[in-house]
Amino acid sequence: MSNRLTLETHKFEKDPTTNRPRLAELTPYISIETEHGELFIQNGQVFPMTGPPISDPPQWFWDEVKKCTPEALADVKFKLPSKVDAPSDEKPVQTPIRRKRGRPRKEKVHG
């Protein structure tokens, strides 16, 4: 693991047989940005834009990370600690559909 954030996600090297570039390393990251600031997740660590990884991110970070899919977190090798609640499987409550103004609709009676 690196002690620095790298925004260069694709590293290429020259293939000696074809002399063409080939992907040597993929280092994805997730950017978590709110009005409070921006932090990054990469290689299982949390980074500010500059400097070493931080060990105790603020609460707003955890609120945003809970919105990420498990697949996205796995891509950056990040596991939610047990103290943070995992995202719930509940579906969001739908707001009722607003009807157009005007006369109420007559019910159709089939009979």
Q: Report yes or no on 1 lying in a domain.
A: no
Domain-located, residue 38: yes
pLDDT at 78: 93
Looking at the domain assignment, is residue 18 inside a domain?
yes
Give the helix/strand (H/E) hosting 46: strand 45-47
Residue 103: partners with Cβ closer than 8 Å, 6 or more residues away: none
Please tell me the predicted confidence (pLDDT) of residue 5.
86
Q: Is residue 82 situated within a structural domain?
A: no
Longest alpha-carbon distance in the chain: 81
In a domain, 105, yes or no: no
The predicted-structure confidence for 20-77, as pLDDT tens digits, reads as follows 999 998 889 999 998 988 999 999 999 998 889 998 999 999 999 999 999 999 999 9
Q: Is the pLDDT of residue 102 over 90?
A: no
What integer is the mean pLDDT of 7-24?
A: 90
Structural domain of 34: 10-75
Residue 99 is assigned to a structural domain of this protein: no
Tell me if 69 is assigned to some domain: yes
User: How far is it, in rounded angstroms, from Cα 32 to Cα 39?
Assistant: 5
CA gap 62, 81 in Å, rounded:
10
End-to-end, the C-alpha distance of the chain in Å comes to 73
Residue-level pLDDT at 88: 46
Question: Would you say residue 44 lies in a domain?
Answer: yes
Give me the residue label for tokens 């074809």: 18
Phi and psi (nearest 5°) for 59? -60, -35
Overall domain count for the chain: 1
Q: pTM of the prediction? A: 0.65
Q: What is the pLDDT of residue 50?
A: 87
